[in-house]
Structure formats: structure tokens, C-alpha cells
Amino acid sequence: MYAQAEVARSISRLSPNMVYKFALSRIAGTGYLTVKDFYSQVGRYKRVLFNYLKNQDARDSESPHIYGSQGRGYLSRKSLTADIPRFSYSKATMSARLGDVYVDSLILFTLAACAVLACVFVFNRYDVR
């Protein structure tokens, strides 16, 4: 699902502007990596909730125990208990986000150093006459 976005991200890293944007969005906790992390947490919650519903349905002897997207009316009709698992999104810590910015920072510093070296090279070749 994320392969195309990863390729686009890698190509856009050729632009210093985009590298800077990626670094700032990661520090701020927004952007592509945060959305990717959110969807992975939602996927884990979906599995936990499905297992919970499956276990609750297994307790009902009158249920036909048919699961799937077309399973309307085929699960237990009994009320659920109050211990339904709740979704809670846990954002990455600031230290983890700063660790992710390491590559972008390295790219920015390398591009800046190359620009300075190019300027020094051009300045040294200039003849004042």
C-alpha cells in the first residue's frame, strides 16, 4: 500500500525544499510517516477487536458462528460485555521523531557543504583583472 508513496518520497528527496519539509513534518508529528504509523495501529486494533468479537461469539451456543464481511445476522445476538477493547493512538515520542530526522538532516548538511565548496571553487577561479 505504501510502495508508491515511498518511491515518490525517495525521488522528491532530490529537492532540498522537500527534505526540509519532511524533516519538519516528522518533528512536528505530522505528515506521511505519522499517517503510516496511525494506519498500522488501526490495523492492530482491528485484529484485536475481531478476536474479541470472535471470542464473545464463541461463548454463545445459539450463534451460527459465521464470520466475514457478509456475516450480517450470523453472529451472536447477545449483548456485549463492558470490556470492549478501546482504540488509543500513541504518538511517537519526540526522541524517536528526532531520530527519524537524522537522514534528512544529513542530506541537508551534505547539500549545504557541497554548495559552499562549489562557491569557494568558483570564487578561487575568478580572475579580478
pLDDT per residue as tens digits for the range 39-74: 999 999 999 988 888 888 777 777 776 766 655 656
Q: How many domains does the chain have?
A: 2
First to last CA, the chain: 61
Kindly report the pTM of this predicted structure.
0.73
Say how far apart CA 78 and CA 60 lie, in whole Å. Answer: 8
Contact 60/78 with Cβ under 8 angstroms?
Answer: yes
pLDDT of residue 57: 78
Residues 72 and 122 in one domain: no
Cα-only R_g, the chain: 26
Provide the residue type at 58 as one letter: A
CA atoms within 13 A on the CB side of 108: 14
Residues 78 and 119 in one domain: no
Say how far apart CA 91 and CA 37 lie, in whole Å. Answer: 8
Residues 22 and 51 in one domain: no
pLDDT of residue 83: 86
Residue span of the structural domain in which 81 resides: 30-90
E-strand spans in 1-53? none
Residues 45 and 68 in one domain: yes
